[in-house]
Amino acid sequence: MKILGIETSCDETSASVVENGWRVLSNVVASSMKDHQKFGGIIPEIASRRQLEFIQMVVMKALEDAGMRLKDIDAVAVTRQPGLVGSLLVGISFANSLSFALGKPLILVDHIRAHVYANYLVKKKTGRERPLFKKLPLPAVGLVVSGGHSSLFMIRDFSDFKVFGETRDDAAGEAYDKVARILNLGYPGGPVIDRLARGVRENPLRFPSAALEGSHDFSFSGLKTAVLYYLQKNQGKKDFSLEHVVHAFQESVVRVLVEKSLEACRRKKVGTLLVGGGVAANSSLRARLEEAARKSGVTVSFPSLDLCMDNAAMIAGLAYHKRAGEVRSPKKTCLC
C-alpha cells in the first residue's frame, strides 16, 4: 500500500510517498525559514502564503522521486492537528481536493503522534529490507520534544496513544529559541546553542531545573528566566563566557528530559523509548539519553536527523496504521 502524505503544520511544506507504513520512497520538504529569521520566529501569515505557493510543486516532486503518478497512490494522508490554523488549512484543503478528485481515501493524522512514529521509517537508499517493528516493540514510552511540545506518551499500539506528561509553560524547543533571542544568537536557537555548547568540557556554571516531583510534566519557563537574570548581572564581567551560559542551559534541559523519560519507562514497566521532534536532533540529548538508557536496560530510538524535523513521511507512515473507522470517504470528509 502506497500512501501520499502531506504535512503543513508550521513553516515547512512537505510531501512524501511511503509504502506499507515504513519504506520511504520519497520525502520532499520546502521550508520558508529564511522568510521568518529576520522576525526571530514563525509568522503564521507568511508561512501559509508560502505553503500556497509550494504545495503543488512539492507534491509533484514527491511523486516524481517515488517514480509514481497520482493514479498509483492508494490513499492521501494529511496533518490534521496541531499546528498553525492557516497552514493546516492549506494542507487539508489540498489533500481533501486531491482525495475527492482521485476517489481515494483521505486519512487525517495527528502531527505529534507522527513524530514518534518516525522511528519506524526506513529510507529506500539505506538498502534495509525489513521494517523496525520487531526491533522497537510496543508497548513503549514516546517522548516528543519540539518547538511547541514537550510530551510523554504511553503507546500500546499505533492507534492507542495516551498523553501522561506535557509542558506546563514553555516547550523545550521554545526555551531554546527564547534563550537564543536573549543572547542575540538568532533564530532558530537550537542548532546554534548545540554547536556552541559542544566545545565546553568543564563548566562551573549551573542553572536550576524544574523537577516537578511526582509529575511527568515539564517546565522550562523558569530556566529561561534564570538565564536572563544571569545575563543581566554578569554580562559585563571579565569571566563571562557565552559558551558556558549556553552549555549550562542545555545541560539543564537535557537532564530533565533524560530523567523524566527513563523514570516514565520504569513506572510504566516498558523497555522501549521512542524520541521524536526537532529537539531530538540535539547531539547532547542523543548522547546522554543513549548512555542513560543503556545503563537502565531501555532500548532508546531516535529518527534520522532529517526525520526529526517536520516531514510528510511520518504522516504517511502513521496513516497506514489508522483504523478503518478513521479513514474517511473522499465524498464524506469534512474539515471540522
Query: 515504513: which residue's cell?
Result: 22
Calculate the dihedral angle through the C-alpha atoms of 102, 105, 108, 113, rounding to the nearest 10 degrees: -120
217: DSSP letter: -
pLDDT of residue 6: 98
Mean residue pLDDT of the chain comes to 92
Tell me the average pLDDT across 79-96. Answer: 96
Give the whole-angstrom CA distance, residue 12 versus residue 146.
14
pLDDT of residue 126: 57
Is residue 334 pLDDT above 50, yes or no?
no
Instruction: Please tell me whether residue 64 adopts helix, strand or coil conformation.
Output: helix
Tell me the average pLDDT across 28-35. Answer: 91
User: Which of the four pLDDT bands, split at 50, 70 and 90, describes residue 99?
Assistant: very high
Q: Which three cell numbers stand for residue 317?
A: 507512515
pLDDT of residue 214: 86
Query: 537535557: which residue's cell?
Result: 254
Say yes or no: do domains 2-121+309-328 and 140-302 share a fold. yes
Comparing CA positions, the residue from 153, 198, 189 lying closest to residue 279 is: 189
pLDDT of residue 327: 45
End-to-end, the C-alpha distance of the chain in Å comes to 27
| Domain 2-121+309-328 -> CATH class | alpha beta
**Alpha helices, H only, the chain:** 33-37, 44-65, 85-102, 111-117, 172-182, 189-198, 221-234, 242-268, 283-296, 305-308, 313-319
Tell me the average pLDDT across 150-156. Answer: 96
- Angle between the N-to-C axes of helices 189-198 and 242-268, in degrees from 0 to 180, rounded to the nearest 10: 100
Tell me the average pLDDT across 255-261. Answer: 96
Is residue 335 pLDDT above 90, yes or no?
no
312: DSSP letter: S
List pLDDT tens digits, range 279-324. Answer: 999 999 999 999 999 999 999 999 999 999 999 999 999 999 985 4
Give the whole-angstrom CA distance, residue 333 versus residue 64.
27
List pLDDT tens digits, range 188-230. Answer: 999 999 999 998 989 999 998 888 888 999 999 999 999 999 9
What are the residue ranges spanned by the domains of the chain? 2-121+309-328, 140-302
Q: What share of the chain is helix, strand, coil (3-state, %, to 5)?
A: 45, 20, 35
Q: Highest mean pLDDT range out of 41-45, 113-117, 328-332?
A: 113-117
Assign domain 140-302 one CATH number from 3.40.50.300, 3.30.1300.10, 3.30.420.40, 1.20.120.1810: 3.30.420.40
